């Protein structure tokens, strides 16, 4: 450790070069650490389960336009026909698709009256097969029965008197009791209209993945009597793709409608999180290129400094320094520069994070990212400098004798 | 002399291919990353209608819930109008020009049996839309006020839809079946895609323009569906489509053209009077909070530029910073490595100024090369953005001449800045010291 003093004093003679590397390391650290943090946050978000049997589900839309297009009869026939296809586990009509980005929201409250605040929730209109088709687990209470299901007309403004909510929704509505005990309680929709909670389901996400209340969903027992409908179909494992084709052909037989928008839930999830996935890929590319640029910069400057000090190294070797001592010299020098760099970097990282938090409402970073980032950046520096340092050991001691 | 220095610069760049390409590569990466993100941000925040963006105003009135503001954070009034207000304000005809609109959709059944029926997006709007927003016409024209007042069944189609249904021929005067009703085509638009799609940013500010333009008030007669965002703070009173239209649900947008501040002030006081009158009917329970925003103010309020795009732009500037620091270091190494050559030049008569010019030119050449490669990288980067984000960004990844020039300019300026310190060091090399060791 005795070398530290001389190395440091030698560094001071080339302050600018050293400082350039240190600042570069600082900026690199700020970008990399913030990127890693954002990547982690985003990938956690994309992994949240929707509650659906995603791998085996899809949906399809149909819009009737003929003069004699009977909505109710068509829906009933369609559902019977679809369910008859082998490989179909269950099929329902639904107003919105979870995680898809488009849907219907309402607000539920525990006291009637416009003056009380409500809890926002996504609304899914399903029949008694809803739980089966969506692949939901009933935690408490019971499912709808066939007699609960009504036909909702266009522009209907009232609501059925039963509702099933997610566990998260129940806990938001009744924070003081166990979610199971909220079965049988009355909640109010549209300020004043009562609905009784008959069942609690484990998990079902809202259509909007960026929504704060994405876990809040309710099921309302109704079909919609409209010409434009959406069917949600769940198949036996592995049979989704073959079933999709059959369902599309089946519905297309009726020439008084347009069959459109058949998508698997996996596709919908991919599309809804595309922004996140893209961000993750872009930031990963940034991290990799930035690491390469910075390391190459260190390699370049270290090689240059080795070249300049050829004579000095030769003299040291002639005076008895071993190869390992030469390597150690450059490694230690780099460690000092990196040390200053990561200290600056810690400050910059926090500053960038604060800026992002303030301007773009990102969550603040956990503290441990900083020390880990500091260590990693120092390691990158050490790795980058190893090559040039190794090369320096090839300088023969005899060089010391050549010029004076 | 300039030509000679450029020649020297390229000679020096070639002499040290590894170090030089490292510098060019670093600048290129920084420029590539910055240009990619700047382009996306530039297009997101572009002025979609620069010739009259200051005369067009988006109309907002606060018809919202007495207990809760429409936007808790900003206290801004609702971002759309109710049917009642859209109709009243339009019928008043108090602005120089005004347009009310909404998004809808329906099935098109072409006469041509070879084309299958398909679903399309409809922009319900009033006649002055085309004139106010300077839409280009391929055939025919828009419609006038009497069409809106008499609920005539006419439509304007986009070029794309005209090609699909009528094979691209002049379809003015022809019939088309949309949403179960017969319409007469009065006009066909030429290609038109404002970026952002400023007239309605509710369902994606960079979405495609709707394919059919239809008179607004037909919504009531034909009970056309609401495809845009619908927001209600209280349920419709009563059943049926009429009740929904008369409810406090917002789904409609209004733009007015006001040519000068006097007209704007007049219109604003008209709005205030209107709201005051409505209060007498028991509507508008909130405090008076009306707003007129011109195009760019409205884009700002609706936060059309995505946060992710802003974040990436800041990050890419820091990235460029790292690349430049890298270049400074490498240039320094390089110029000091050339000490003996510089010493010789100085000894045989080159002044400090000559050495300075020579090396600044060398730095600029490196920058220029980096900028050119950087533009290529930006092009690749934008393709990458397209493949990552899909169709949504189609209108946001055009690298135009202005952007390309900006890229080269940034590369030149930053590399010259980066070259300043190394060049200054090079100038101060004393000739005597260097010659001694030769």
A84 pLDDT more than 60 = yes
Note whether B141 and B204 are same-domain residues.
yes
Note whether B189 and B291 are same-domain residues.
yes
What CA–CA distance (Å, rounded) separates A257 from A259? Answer: 6
Q: What number of C-beta contacts closer than 8 Å exist between A and B?
A: 140
Note whether B186 and B82 are same-domain residues.
yes
Query: What does pLDDT average to over chain A?
Result: 90
> Is A115–B67 a contact, with Cβ atoms under 8 angstroms apart?
yes
Q: Which residues of chain B neighbour A17 with C-beta distances below 8 Å?
A: 329, 332-333
Q: Give A362 to chain B, closest Cα distance, Å.
A: 10
Q: Which residues of chain A neighbour B307 with C-beta distances below 8 Å?
A: 359-361
> Is A63–B241 a contact, with Cβ atoms under 8 angstroms apart?
no
What CA–CA distance (Å, rounded) separates B128 from B203? Answer: 22
Phi, psi of A391 (to 5 degrees): -65, -35
Q: Which residues of chain A neighbour B117 with C-beta distances below 8 Å?
A: 65, 258
End residue of a domain, out of B252, B281, B301: B301
Name the 3-class secondary structure at A175. coil
pLDDT of amino acid B202: 84
Closest C-alpha to A187, from A124, A92, A116, A288: A116
Closest C-alpha to A40, from A212, A276, A269: A276
Domain containing residue B369: 2-45+306-436
What CA–CA distance (Å, rounded) separates A251 from A242? Answer: 15
Q: Which residues of chain B neighbour A362 with C-beta distances below 8 Å?
A: 311
Residue in B33, B307, B329 nearest the CB of A20: B329
Note whether B21 and B89 are same-domain residues.
no
Q: Give B66 to chain A, closest Cα distance, Å.
A: 9
What CA–CA distance (Å, rounded) separates A155 from B36? Answer: 46
The confidence band for B104, taking pLDDT boundaries of 50, 70 and 90, is: very high
pLDDT of amino acid A12: 79
Beta bridge partners of A193: A189
The confidence band for B57, taking pLDDT boundaries of 50, 70 and 90, is: very high
A404 pLDDT more than 50 = no
A154 pLDDT more than 80 = no
CB atoms within 10 A of CB A111: 12
Q: Give B5 to chain A, closest Cα distance, Å.
A: 25
Question: Mutating which of A257, A289, A358 best tests the B interface, going by the most B Cβ atoms within 10 A?
Answer: A289
Note whether B348 and B250 are same-domain residues.
no
A127 pLDDT more than 60 = yes
pLDDT of amino acid B437: 59
Beta bridge partners of B122: B104, B212
Q: What is the DSSP letter of B278?
A: H
For chain A, what are the domain ranges? Answer: 4-47+274-401, 70-255
State which residue of chain A sits closest to B28, comparing Cα positions.
A293
> Is A300–B333 a contact, with Cβ atoms under 8 angstroms apart?
yes
What CA–CA distance (Å, rounded) separates B308 from A277? Answer: 12
The confidence band for B213, taking pLDDT boundaries of 50, 70 and 90, is: very high
> Is B385–A190 a contact, with Cβ atoms under 8 angstroms apart?
no
Q: How buried is residue B72: exposed, middle or buried, by Cβ count under 10 Å (0-12/13-18/19+)?
A: exposed
Q: Which residues of chain A neighbour B248 with C-beta distances below 8 Å?
A: none
For residues B243-270, average pLDDT: 94
What CA–CA distance (Å, rounded) separates B60 from B150? Answer: 27
End residue of a domain, out of B253, B277, B301: B301
A153 pLDDT more than 90 = no
pLDDT of amino acid B219: 95
pLDDT of amino acid B392: 65
State which residue of chain A sits closest to B239, comparing Cα positions.
A156
> What are B117-131's pLDDT values in tens digits?
899 999 999 999 999
Q: Give B265 to chain A, closest Cα distance, Å.
A: 33
> Is B333–A34 a contact, with Cβ atoms under 8 angstroms apart?
no
∠ CA A253-A241-A221, nearest 5°, is 70
Residue in A31, A115, A297 nearest the CB of B318: A31
The confidence band for B295, taking pLDDT boundaries of 50, 70 and 90, is: very high
Q: Give A339 to chain B, closest Cα distance, Å.
A: 17
The confidence band for A69, taking pLDDT boundaries of 50, 70 and 90, is: confident
> Is B239–A191 a contact, with Cβ atoms under 8 angstroms apart?
no
Q: Which residues of chain B neighbour A289 with C-beta distances below 8 Å?
A: 29, 33
> Is B107–A20 a contact, with Cβ atoms under 8 angstroms apart?
no
What is the number of structural domains in chain B?
Answer: 2
Helix runs in A361-395, H state only = 369-392
For residues A257-285, average pLDDT: 90
Residue in B118, B388, B421 nearest the CB of A281: B388
Per the model's pLDDT, the better-predicted residue between A101 and B220 turns out to be: B220
Note whether B297 and B310 are same-domain residues.
no
Note whether B273 and B372 are same-domain residues.
no
Q: Give A20 to chain B, closest Cα distance, Å.
A: 6
End residue of a domain, out of B260, B284, B301: B301
Q: Tell me the HSE value of B40 on the side-chain side, using a 13 A CA sphere.
A: 28
Q: What token pair was written down for A112?
A: 């009637």
User: Do the domain assignments include residue B404?
Assistant: yes
Residue in B68, B326, B384 nearest the CB of A297: B326
Q: What is the DSSP string of A300-321?
A: HHHHHHHHHTHHHHHHHHHTT-
State which residue of chain B sits closest to A357, comparing Cα positions.
B311
State which residue of chain A sits closest to B178, comparing Cα positions.
A65
The confidence band for A2, taking pLDDT boundaries of 50, 70 and 90, is: low
Name the 3-class secondary structure at B115. coil
pLDDT of amino acid B229: 82
What CA–CA distance (Å, rounded) separates B260 from B244? Answer: 37
Q: Which residues of chain A neighbour B238 with C-beta distances below 8 Å?
A: 157
With b for 16 or more beta-carbon neighbours within 10 A and e for fewer, the B354-381 pattern comes to ebbbbbbbbbbbbbbbbbbbbbebbbeb
> Is A17–B332 a contact, with Cβ atoms under 8 angstroms apart?
yes
Residue in A278, A300, A359 nearest the CB of B389: A278
Q: How buried is residue B233: exposed, middle or buried, by Cβ count under 10 Å (0-12/13-18/19+)?
A: buried
For residues A209-225, average pLDDT: 92
Question: Mutating which of B224, B311, B335, B338 best tests the A interface, going by the most A Cβ atoms within 10 A?
Answer: B311
Q: Give B331 to chain A, closest Cα distance, Å.
A: 10
Q: Which residues of chain B neighbour A281 with C-beta distances below 8 Å?
A: 388
Per the model's pLDDT, the better-predicted residue between B162 and A153 turns out to be: B162
Q: Which residues of chain B neighbour A20 with C-beta distances below 8 Å?
A: 325, 328-329, 332
């Amino acid at each position: 450790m005795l070398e530290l003093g001389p190395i440091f004093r030698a560094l001071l003679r080339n302050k600018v070069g050293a400082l350039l590397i240190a600042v570069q390391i600082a900026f690199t650290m700020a970008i990399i650490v913030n990127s890693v943090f954002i990547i982690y946050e985003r990938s956690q978000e994309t992994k949240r389960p929707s509650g659906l049997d995603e791998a085996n589900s899809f949906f399809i839309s149909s819009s009737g336009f003929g003069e004699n297009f009977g909505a109710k009869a068509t829906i009933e026939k369609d559902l019977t026909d679809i369910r008859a296809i082998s490989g179909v586990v269950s099929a329902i009509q639904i107003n919105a698709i979870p995680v898809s980005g488009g849907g219907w929201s309402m607000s539920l409250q525990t006291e009637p009256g416009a003056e009380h605040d409500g809890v926002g929730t996504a609304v899914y209109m399903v029949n008694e097969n809803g739980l089966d088709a969506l692949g939901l687990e009933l935690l408490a209470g019971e499912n709808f029965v066939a007699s609960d299901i009504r036909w909702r007309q266009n522009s209907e403004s009232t609501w059925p008197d039963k509702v099933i909510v997610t566990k998260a929704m129940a806990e938001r509505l009744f924070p003081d009791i166990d979610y199971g005990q909220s079965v049988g309680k009355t909640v109010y929709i549209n300020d004043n209209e009562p609905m009784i909670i008959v069942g609690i389901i484990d998990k079902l996400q809202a259509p909007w993945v960026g929504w704060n209340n994405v876990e809040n969903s309710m099921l309302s027992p109704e079909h919609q009597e409209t010409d434009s409908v959406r069917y949600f179909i769940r198949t036996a494992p592995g049979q989704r793709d073959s079933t999709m084709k059959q369902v599309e052909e089946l519905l297309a037989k009726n020439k008084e409608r347009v069959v459109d928008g058949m998508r698997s839930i996996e596709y919908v999830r991919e599309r809804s999180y595309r922004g996140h996935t893209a961000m993750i890929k872009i930031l990963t590319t940034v991290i990799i290129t930035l690491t390469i640029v910075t390391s190459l910069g260190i390699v370049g400057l270290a090689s240059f400094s080795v070249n300049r000090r050829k004579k000095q190294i030769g003299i040291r070797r002639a005076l008895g320094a071993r190869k390992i001592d030469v390597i150690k010299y450059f490694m230690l020098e780099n460690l000092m520069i990196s040390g200053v760099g990561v200290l600056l970097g810690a400050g910059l990282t926090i500053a960038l994070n604060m800026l992002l938090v303030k301007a773009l409402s990102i969550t603040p970073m956990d503290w441990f990212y900083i020390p880990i980032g500091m260590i990693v950046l120092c390691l990158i520096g050490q790795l980058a400098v190893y090559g040039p340092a190794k090369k320096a050991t090839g300088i023969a001691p005899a060089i010391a004798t050549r010029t004076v | 002399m300039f030509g000679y220095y450029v020649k020297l610069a390229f000679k020096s760049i070639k002499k040290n291919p590894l170090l030089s390409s490292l510098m060019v590569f670093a600048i290129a990466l920084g420029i590539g990353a910055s240009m990619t993100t700047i382009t996306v941000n530039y297009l997101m925040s572009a002025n979609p209608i620069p010739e009259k963006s200051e005369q067009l105003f988006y109309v907002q009135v606060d018809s919202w819930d007495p207990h809760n503001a429409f936007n808790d954070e900003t206290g801004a009034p609702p971002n759309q109008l109710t049917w009642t207000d859209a109709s009243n304000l339009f019928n008043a005809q108090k602005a120089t020009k005004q347009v009310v609109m909404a998004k809808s959709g329906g099935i098109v059944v072409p006469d041509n049996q070879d084309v299958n029926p398909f679903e399309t997006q409809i922009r319900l709007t009033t006649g002055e839309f085309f004139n106010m927003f300077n839409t280009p016409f391929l055939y025919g024209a828009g419609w006038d006020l009497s069409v809106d007042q008499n609920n005539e069944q006419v439509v304007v189609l986009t070029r794309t839809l005209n090609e699909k249904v009528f094979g691209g021929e002049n379809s003015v005067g022809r019939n088309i079946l949309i949403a179960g009703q017969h319409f007469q085509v009065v006009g066909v638009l030429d290609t038109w895609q404002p970026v952002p799609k400023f007239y309605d940013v509710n369902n994606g500010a960079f979405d495609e323009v709707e394919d059919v333009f239809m008179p607004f008030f037909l919504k009531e007669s034909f009970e056309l569906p609401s495809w845009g965002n619908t927001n209600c703070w209280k349920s419709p009173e009563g059943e049926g489509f009429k009740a929904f239209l008369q409810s406090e649900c917002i789904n409609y947008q209004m733009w007015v053209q006001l040519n000068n501040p006097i007209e704007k002030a007049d219109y604003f006081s008209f709005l205030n009077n209107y709201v005051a009158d409505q209060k007498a009917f028991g509507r508008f329970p909130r405090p008076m909070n009306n707003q007129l925003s011109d195009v760019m103010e409205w884009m700002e309020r609706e936060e059309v530029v995505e946060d992710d795009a802003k974040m990436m732009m800041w990050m890419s500037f820091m990235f460029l910073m790292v690349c430049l620091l890298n270049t400074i270091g490498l240039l320094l190494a390089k110029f000091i490595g050339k000490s003996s050559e510089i010493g010789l030049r100085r000894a045989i008569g080159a002044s400090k100024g000559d050495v300075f010019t020579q090396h600044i030119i060398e730095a600029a050449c490196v920058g220029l090369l980096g900028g050119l490669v950087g533009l290529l990288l930006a092009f690749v980067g934008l393709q990458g953005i397209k493949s990552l984000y899909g169709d949504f960004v189609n209108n946001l990844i055009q690298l135009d001449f202005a952007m390309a020039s900006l890229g080269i300019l940034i590369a030149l300026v930053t590399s010259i800045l980066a070259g300043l310190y190394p060049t200054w060091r090079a100038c101060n090399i004393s000739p005597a010291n260097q010659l001694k060791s030769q």
